[in-house]
Amino acid sequence: MGHKTEEMLQRNASKVRQVASAARSKVLTIDSMNERVKAVQYAVRGPIVIRAGEIENQLKAGSTEFPFDEVIKCNIGDAHAMQQKPITYLRQVVTGTCYPDLMDGENNNGVIPKDASEQARRILGSCGGGSVGAYSNSAGVPVIREDVAKYIEKRDGIGNVDPENIVLSTGASGSITTLLKMLVNGPQDGIMIPIPQYPLYSACLAEFNATVVPYYLNEETNWSLDLEELERAYSESDVKPKAICIINPGNPTGQVASYENIKKVLNFAYSRGLFVLADEVYQDNVYAEGAKFHSFRKVLLEMGEPYASEVELASFHSTSKGYMGECGFRSGYMEILNMDPDVKAQLVKLISSRLCPPVPGQAAMDVVVNPPVPGDDSYELYIQERTKVLADLKYKAKLVADTFNAIEGISCQPVQGAMYAFPNIKLPEKFIKEAGQKGLVPDAYYCTLLLEQTGICVVAGSGFRQKAGSWHFRTTILPPKEKMEKFAKLFTEFHLGILAKYE
């Protein structure tokens, strides 16, 4: 070993903070890790949900230590986990792409019907090597992007959609994360998000070290989005907001925005120079009489110039919600409108470094945007299944809100759309004090007790953020009817018990 090498080794040794020894400490510790990751919070799968999983495992293993025999998981919009049956046609198309031998046609087994086989073949024809085993283009399989474009055109009945503006992703989460990442450089960049919000938004902004500019939805008027509140939020922000996120239909709040309301938001975004992110993953989930889904794109185009060609808009959709509910496939897309071409090139580069979204999920997305139509062999079964899912959700949307509103100290706005109720709970002072003594946020303490005493797993309102001094929780409306009815009974008893004990 030369002199130079020895010198280098010595220099290196002195560079090492800790001398290697039996007590050598970890390299990656809570102190040395990424601070921004530590700042991330995501209650939808937080400590209460982790605890619910533990209890479930104990129950499975035969434990009798709990005063209930099952966990009712209302923490996450996960329809299939709650026994919702898949739409047969969707699974047939996906199966055709994964195992082409099963498709209809000569030399094939033919268990996949003709129309599903045709759709699967068309998708495969647009895949590398004709296989879902190949990476797709970074922005998705070409024909699926085309089908998404046609779906949007048909849905909105206005304007053309360029498939080049459709970017498929790993769930809508993948698109939302990517776009927020594109937007922000640091704490000097603000993003307006609704409160309450789906916590992916605050989680991403924490991770990317950007500033949350909260605007509050008005609970009294069913979580409406008031223009004056947008102006207030913009005005009081320490940093210039760069974008505004809207979730419509609302998560966790279940409201559906009116056409006029959307117009006002777009006008605000235009005049204030904001990029618009429209989270529209619940566009097929509208239950209330009189409520109707209007896409931000449609309203924008109908506003005409200069809005239509100037407001930069991204809209998100997913296979996970709607009546398909295929969360496990992790598929979503974003449509971008009026994006600067140079920025779009950067977006494509960024997603290319992660290669592509899952291709079987993309095939599932193709069915979401291109389901059977009247006259197709599979139409009848498809429409039966679709109608049943949506009718069940509509029934439960009302059941859940009615249940809460019948209980003293609870009020719940109607669930117009999406998959959630977000009831307001008045907690007794004594309860709030006890929570404080235990170092817990009152609604988190409430949800913990609810889980431990009844097996019901919901997410505390604080996980979505809420007006100071108000307390809520979010429950899905997804468990099967009889379970939802059991939920209603157990929950009512629990809440009355809390009142009796603490008031």
Q: Which residues in 238-277 contact a second copy (CB under 8 A)?
A: 240, 242-243, 270-275
Residue 457 has which token pair? 């797993």
Minimum CB separation of residue 412 from a second copy in Å reads: 25
- By CB under 8 A, tell whether 99 contacts a second copy: yes
364 contacts: CB under 8 Å, gap ≥ 6: 90, 93, 94, 319, 324, 326, 329, 331
Q: In whole angstroms, give the CA distance from residue 71 to residue 58.
A: 11
Q: In whole angstroms, give the CA distance from residue 219 to residue 209.
A: 29
Which residue stretch of 28-36, 150-158, 366-374, 384-392 sits at the interface with a second copy (rule: CB under 8 A)?
Answer: 28-36
The count of residues interacting with a second copy (CB under 8 A) is 120
- By CB under 8 A, tell whether 297 contacts a second copy: no
Question: What number of CA atoms fall less than 13 Å from residue 125's CA on the CB side?
Answer: 7
Minimum CB separation of residue 291 from a second copy in Å reads: 26
Residue 273 has which token pair? 């120079």
345 contacts: CB under 8 Å, gap ≥ 6: none
Minimum CB separation of residue 410 from a second copy in Å reads: 28
Residue 145: strand, helix, or coil: helix
- By CB under 8 A, tell whether 328 contacts a second copy: yes
Give residue 399's region: left, alpha or beta (phi > 0; psi -120 to 50): alpha
From candidates 24, 154, 433, 489, binder to a second copy by CB under 8 A: 24
Find the binding residues for a second copy in span 34-53 (CB under 8 A).
34-38, 40-42, 44-46, 53
- By CB under 8 A, tell whether 304 contacts a second copy: no
Q: In whole angstroms, give the CA distance from residue 173 to residue 45.
A: 15
Q: In whole angstroms, give the CA distance from residue 217 to residue 194.
A: 6
Find the binding residues for a second copy in span 338-377 (CB under 8 A).
338-340, 342-343, 346, 349-350, 352-361
Task: Between 156 and 326, name the residue whose CB sits nearer to a second copy.
Answer: 326
Quote the radius of gyration of the chain (alpha carbons, Å): 25
The identity of residue 424, as a single letter, is: N
From candidates 120, 123, 127, 460, binder to a second copy by CB under 8 A: 127
- By CB under 8 A, tell whether 483 contacts a second copy: no
Would you say 455 and 55 are in contact if contact means Cβ atoms under 8 Å apart? yes
Binding mask 51-80 for a second copy (x = CB under 8 A): --x----------------------x-xxx
Task: Between 84 and 255, name the residue whose CB sits nearer to a second copy.
Answer: 84
Minimum CB separation of residue 34 from a second copy in Å reads: 6
- By CB under 8 A, tell whether 481 contacts a second copy: no
Task: Between 135 and 259, name the residue whose CB sits nearer to a second copy.
Answer: 135
Find the binding residues for a second copy in span 176-235 (CB under 8 A).
177, 181-185, 199-200, 203-204, 207-208, 228, 231-232, 234-235
Sheet of 190-195: strands edge to edge?
Answer: 166-169, 332-337, 313-318, 275-279, 241-247, 190-195, 211-216
